[in-house]
Amino acid sequence: MTYTMIKKSKTLEKTNDDYLSRDELIIKAQLESWIYDVKKKADLEHRLQKAFENSKSHTQSLSQM
């Protein structure tokens, strides 16, 4: 009985997306996509910078030998 009441109450809850129009949902999805792309690009740039620093350090240590 308790399970049924919990399940029913959860299905009655509204999420924020339930109150958005179709256009707003499209805009929200696009913004989320852009945010993901920016974060991915920032991560790639950070990894590239680290790789460059490591290769520069490695080159310096080889030239000292």
User: Using one digit for the tens of pLDDT, what is the confidence trace for 5-26?
Assistant: 555 555 555 667 778 899 999 9
3-state secondary structure of 60: helix
Confidence of residue 49 (pLDDT cuts 50, 70, 90): very high
Nearest to 42 by CA among 34, 31, 32: 34
pTM over 0.85: no
